[in-house]
């Protein structure tokens, strides 16, 4: 979940200045996949890994601007099948376990021992899955719009829960699907997004994205569409993961939370997030001693919402200041 639509203008004044990468990498991870990886900021700074949403969303220059470039060594990458990684829209050898292994490969390739994880929506899911697998290589987590990949969360968004608040948009999402198939919208779209005809894939990718994008923010545009190739990659990858329960055991991330409870975490959660409702973030934070849940008023899901942006920048500036204070005698 979490399509970043390049909505920078509303949040422009709250971000750090734009920066260019000091290094770009092409990392071969096997199975025919080649990952795009970039590094920004201070090569000697505190390492932080940015995990984008979707699955299939890809990174953007906007994501570099949550970090003080003098303090952080920021690593961003496009996950398998999306963004500048190749091949585009491929679901072959593309599972959560593959992505966890990719992150481990990136870390060792770049010579990083431990890093802070920064991820929202599906990026939060992947951050938790990686941290629970490799806790010794994580210094902490900053999560936004928490999604744990459970069936109840998928039922909320694709089974009619969110439709109670957006019946008109839900009807538009259902419209391309025959009435007899509407009891399983993920499955119905799966048939069409993985049809042998690329044109048919593209036609059904747009309504998949429009439904999610319309609910992402309090002021989202309800009819906005994305470039065709981006839409196809995003919709296919997201549907692939959701069709397989995100390649996680049901409740796995909560079950294994004990592996990371010694780590600090901050959760930034929109109070009115209709894509990933706050209940999930609240459950994740409960009983985690070092977890700080920050419910942001008058905000939804999108990374680019002004209050969400401002809070995340404040969080990362606070981590920076704590680092500096620890170094001061």
Active-site residue set: 121, 273, 301
Q: Whole-angstrom Cα distance, residue 32 to residue 28?
A: 8
Q: How far is CA 112 from the centre of its chain?
A: 22
**Token pair listed for 232:** 């196809």
Q: Are 143 and 129 in contact (CB under 8 A)?
A: no
Q: How many residues does the chain have?
A: 329
Task: Give strand pairing partners of 269.
Answer: 295
> Cβ distance 2 to 120 under 8 Å?
yes
Query: Beta strands of 176-323 (E only): which ranges?
Result: 265-270, 291-296
Supply the angle between the helices 185-193 and 228-243 in degrees, to the nearest 10: 130
**Where on the phi/psi map is residue 37: left (φ > 0), alpha (ψ -120 to 50), or beta?**
beta
What is the distance of C-alpha 110 from the center of its chain?
A: 22
């Amino acid at each position: 979940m979490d399509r970043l639509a390049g909505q920078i203008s509303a949040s422009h004044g709250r971000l750090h200045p734009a920066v260019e990468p000091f290094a770009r990498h092409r990392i071969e991870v096997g199975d025919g996949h080649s990952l795009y990886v970039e590094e920004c900021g201070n090569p000697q700074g505190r390492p932080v890994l940015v995990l984008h949403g979707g699955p299939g969303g890809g990174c953007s220059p906007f994501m570099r601007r949550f970090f003080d470039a003098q303090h952080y060594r920021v690593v961003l990458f496009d996950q398998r099948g999306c963004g500048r990684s190749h091949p585009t829209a491929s679901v072959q050898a593309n599972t959560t376990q593959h992505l966890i292994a990719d992150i481990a490969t990136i870390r060792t390739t770049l010579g990083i021992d431990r890093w802070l994880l920064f991820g929202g929506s599906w990026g939060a899911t992947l951050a938790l899955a990686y941290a629970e697998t490799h806790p010794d290589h994580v210094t902490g987590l900053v999560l936004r719009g928490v999604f744990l990949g459970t069936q109840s969360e998928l039922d909320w968004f694709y089974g009619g829960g969110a439709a109670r608040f957006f019946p008109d948009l839900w009807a538009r999402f259902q419209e391309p699907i025959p009435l007899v198939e509407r009891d399983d919208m993920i499955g119905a779209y799966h048939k069409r997004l993985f049809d042998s005809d690329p044109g048919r894939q593209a036609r059904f990718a747009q309504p998949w994205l429009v439904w999610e994008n319309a609910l992402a923010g309090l002021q989202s545009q309800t009819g906005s569409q994305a470039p065709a190739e981006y839409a196809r990659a995003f919709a296919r990858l997201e549907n692939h993961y959701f069709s397989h329960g995100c390649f996680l055991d049901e409740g796995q991330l909560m079950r294994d939370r004990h592996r990371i409870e010694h780590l600090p975490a901050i959760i930034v959660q929109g109070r009115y997030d209709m894509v990933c409702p706050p209940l999930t973030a609240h459950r994740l934070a409960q009983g985690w001693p070092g977890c700080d849940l920050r419910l942001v008023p008058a905000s939804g899901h999108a990374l680019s919402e002004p209050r969400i942006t401002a809070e995340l920048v404040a969080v990362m500036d606070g981590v920076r200041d704590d680092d500096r204070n620890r170094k001061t005698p």
